[in-house]
Amino acid sequence: MKSHELDFEIIGDDLQIIEVELDPAETVIAEAGSMNYMEEDIDFEAKMGDGSNPKAGFMDVLWSAGKRVLTGESLFITHFTNRGGRKRKVAFAAPYPGKIIPIDLSQINGRFICQKDAFLCAAFGTRLSIAFTKRIGAGFFGGEGFILQKLEGDGLAFVQAGGTIIKKELQGETLRVDTGCIVGFSDGIKYNIARAGSLKSMVFGGEGLFLATLQGVGTVYLQSLPFSRLADRIIAHAPNMGGSSKGEGSVLGKWGTLFGNR
């Protein structure tokens, strides 16, 4: 199924939204709960499945939606359609600080593999499914697990990532990456894991026990701040159960609250 052609604008810097302009009868599909605002004449409907195969039966749609649950995503995908007679806009926002990356699937052989929570929205006609990590080592230690998201089609898809985005074009070489910093990669890139140096480096180096290896010919997107890393830092510096602060804004540190808030 040929994907709808979308016009879009990415607004903002570190807390971005993407504004999609829909022609009459045009549709964009999006992750549930990602809509920021929409203009009149746009209807939205939560559906099981991405709608890329209109001839699919109920069981096929249910099976496709069920596979998305394995990636931790919602069972439903929201379809936004312009029912009016003029162009209308709908906007979607990423759930944490970072960037929104436009992916033209027609330029990368129609397929893009990304981390489980990366998908934000895409042109109607884009097929959303899952990709299994073939190597057991990569599944256990690769950070992304056995199951990744797979986006297929000939239109635009948009993925979200944390921090600064780095785009790498590999021409057969191997790139070693922190396992949580991979956003996604095009068809032709092989994903595996490798030991992170010597035993001393693995234990005391702070980079984890394993690194992801990406090898082949294609495009790789990396992120500087994975959400899991951001969440870990927030939890580590959050107030304790008693509600007291660690006093990081003071030169006295925690001693600044030794006598309360007076």
Could you give the domains of the chain? Answer: 7-236 (3.60.160.10)
Tell me how far apart the alpha carbons of residues 77 and 19 are, in angstroms, rounded to a whole number. 18
End-to-end CA distance of the chain: 67
Q: What is the pLDDT of residues 177-221, one digit of tens each?
A: 887 899 999 989 998 877 665 555 545 444 556 788 899 999 999
Give the three-class secondary structure for 37. Answer: strand
Tell me how far apart the alpha carbons of residues 180 and 228 are, in angstroms, rounded to a whole number. 8
Q: How far is CA 254 from CA 110, 232, 241, 258, in A?
A: 54, 20, 15, 7
| 237 pLDDT more than 80 | no
Better-scored residue on pLDDT, 31 or 48? 31
pLDDT, position 255: 43
Residue 38 — very low, low, confident or very high, per pLDDT cuts 50/70/90? very high
Q: Which residues, including other chains, have CB under 8 Å from residue 229's CB and lie 6 or more apart?
A: 162, 180
Q: What is the largest CA-CA distance in the chain?
A: 70
Q: What is the mean pLDDT of residues 132-142?
A: 49
| 170 pLDDT more than 60 | yes
Residue in the block written with tokens 């997107």: 221
| 122 pLDDT more than 90 | yes
Better-scored residue on pLDDT, 252 or 99? 99
Q: Which of 42-56, 88-102, 220-234 has the lowest mean pLDDT?
A: 42-56
| 158 pLDDT more than 60 | yes
* % of the chain beyond a pLDDT of 70: 70
pLDDT, position 47: 87
Better-scored residue on pLDDT, 1 or 129? 129
pLDDT, position 74: 64
Tell me how far apart the alpha carbons of residues 193 and 209 are, in angstroms, rounded to a whole number. 10
Better-scored residue on pLDDT, 68 or 77? 77
pLDDT, position 262: 43
Considering only CA atoms, which of 112, 107, 131 is closest in space to residue 186? 112
Tell me how far apart the alpha carbons of residues 227 and 181 are, in angstroms, rounded to a whole number. 9
The beta strands (E) that lie in 23-164 are given as 27-31, 35-38, 42-47, 77-82, 88-93, 98-104, 111-114, 119-123, 127-132, 147-152, 156-162
How many residues belong to the chain? 262
pLDDT, position 70: 57
CB 96 within 8 A of CB 162: yes
- Most confident residue range from 40-44, 61-65, 233-237: 40-44
Tell me how far apart the alpha carbons of residues 262 and 256 are, in angstroms, rounded to a whole number. 10
pLDDT, position 141: 47
